[in-house]
Structure 1
Amino acid sequence: MTSITVLLPAILVLLADQLTKMAVTRRLANGSSAAVVWCVRLRCAMKPSRSRRLPDKRIALVLLWGVVLSTFAFLIGQGDIFHHPAAHVGIGAALGGAASNVYDRLRRGAVLDFVAIGWWPVFNLADVGITLGALMALWFIW
């Protein structure tokens, strides 16, 4: 049960983020935007890495992702902190969002953000998964 409550949300967030990014890049050029409703716009914004040595950064990124994934797997396996299944779902959503952004960095060399709401910085579905997933995991921590 624990594996599916972490893996399913991770896969769903990763797929939803990647599919929406694919749709946005097919319809909008980088820097362009389109109104959706009221104060919500789709804005294609590539956020490249600030590092000039991308191959070194890619290796570090993959290693860091492995450490984060291993740490969460250890914490869930211990069962001392994350007892509630909703915490597992939150962790899965956060890991799926992080995995999607890591995938973007490795594949594109940049993360594509596309949701613009008013004055808030542009973000993507992976960011939503990370934020809401982490909040959910913390809410149900014990």
Structure 2
Amino acid sequence: MSILVFGVISVAVIIFDQWSKQYVQSHMLPGMSIPVVDNIFHITYVLNPGAAFGILENQQMLFIVIALIMLGLTVYFFKQIPHKFRLIRLGLSLLAGGAVGNVIDRVQTGYVIDFFDFRIWPVFNVADIAIVTGVSCVIYTLIFMSFPNENQEKSR
């Protein structure tokens, strides 16, 4: 996966995330909830001033700075990752798109707009899905892929 594909995936996540949030904002009021599957899945418009699970409420500048640092590191390290590790590269693309999607909310409104509500889990959004999926791709690769170690490299 090239840096171009990284950019395309990241931008696609940002566009879908921002479109979905705009749709919710334009059709609902904060706190409003629409049952899709009663008591299981609702679309609930929440303005989240914190991070995951609402922790560190109203620390917008901290979240923006952390996200921008992570984005910079992601782009930098993406170039360092061998092309054969496609799943890590995909994960970083999703992670970058999700981070930018949530940063846009924080800059524009001071909140992150969440709306997927499964009633047994905190309300979340498309950017959150991309971040969790991206991190999962990276962790999966690090656990299950084989990497040559220094001893193997020296014996060749």
TM range (shorter): 0.7 to 0.9
* TM-score calculated relative to the size of structure 2: 0.77
CA contact (8 A) 1:5 1:88 kept: no
Q: Which secondary structure state, in structure 2, belongs to the residue aligned with residue 140 of structure 1?
A: helix
Contact 2:3/2:79, CA 8 A, preserved across alignment? no
TM-score by length of 1: 0.83
- Measured in 2, the distance between the counterparts of 1:65 and 1:3 equals 19
Aligned equivalent of 1:45: 46
Fraction of identical pairs, as percent: 25
What amino acid is aligned across from residue 77 of structure 1 in structure 2? Answer: K
Cα-Cα RMSD: 2.1
Other structure's SS at 1:121 match: coil
Counterpart of 1:21, as a letter, is K
Q: Could you tell me which residue of structure 2 aligns to residue 6 of structure 1?
A: 6
Q: Deviations over 1:16-61 (max 9, x none)?
A: 1111111111111000100113521000000125348x6xx2xx55
SS of residue in 1 equivalent to 2:47: strand
- Separation in 2 of the partners of 1:138 and 1:65? 19
The residue aligned with 2:114 is: 113
Q: Does the 8 Å CA contact 1:5/1:85 hold for their aligned counterparts?
A: no
Could you tell me which residue of structure 1 aligns to residue 133 of structure 2?
132
Letter in 2 for 1:121: P
2:73 is aligned with what amino acid?
Answer: T
1:123 aligned to 2:150? Answer: no
Q: Distance in 1 between matches of 2:138 and 2:78?
A: 11
* Contact 1:101–1:126 (Cα < 8 Å) also in 2: yes
In the other structure, the counterpart of 1:26 is 26
**Cα distance in 1 for residues equivalent to 2:75 and 2:8:** 15
Separation (CA, whole Å) in 2 of partners of 1:10 and 1:76: 13
Which blocks of at least 5 consecutive residues in structure 1 are unaligned? none
Query: Take 2:117 and 2:33, find their aligned partners in 1: how far apart are those partners?
Result: 9
Could you list the runs of 5+ residues in structure 2 that have no partner in the other structure? Answer: 51-56, 146-156
Distance 1:66 1:15 in 2: 18
Q: Following the alignment from structure 1 to structure 2, what is the Cα–Cα distance between the partners of residues 62 and 37?
A: 34
Matched residues in 2 for 1:88 and 1:98: separation?
15
Considering Cα pairs closer than 8 Å and 6+ residues apart, tell me whether 1 or 2 has the greater RCO.
1
- Per the TM alignment, residue 105 of structure 1 is displaced from its structure 2 partner at its CA by 0.3
- Give the aligned residue type for 2:10: A
Contact 2:46 2:114 in 1 (8 A): yes
Note the C-alpha offset of 1:127. 0.5
- Bigger Rg over Cα: 2
* Structure 1 residue 79: Cα displacement: 2.5
